[in-house]
Amino acid sequence: MRAVITVIGKDTVGILAKVSTVCAENGVNVMDVTQSILQGMFAMIMMVDISGCTVPFSELSDKLTDLGDSMGLRIHVMHEDIFNSMHRI
């Protein structure tokens, strides 16, 4: 099962490292990363495999949200189906 992690906010040192650490600690495999500056904001998108995730999805989501709050960033983790269904016919 794949999910998409998005990180949006002001660019600071260590975003990728910290998000990746949460992933690694919870058995989430990072498959692809893209990042860009969008309208002056930092935007990172990670495609991850959560089939080996060691905690329930909601807990992973809470951990990433907490990390985002502590760094002043908005971090979402969402099942990839939501994007597929909205943007693909």
Tell me which residues touch other proteins (CB under 8 A): 4, 6, 8, 34, 36, 38, 43, 45, 47, 57-58, 61, 74, 76-87
Closer to other proteins by CB, 5 or 18: give it.
Answer: 5
Closer to other proteins by CB, 21 or 84: give it.
Answer: 84
Q: How far apart are CA 34 and CA 27, in angstroms?
A: 20
Taking the complex as a whole, how short is the minimal distance between the CB of residue 8 and other proteins, in angstroms? 7
Measured between alpha carbons, how far apart are the two ends of the chain, in Å? 20
Contact 64, 46 (CB under 8 A): no
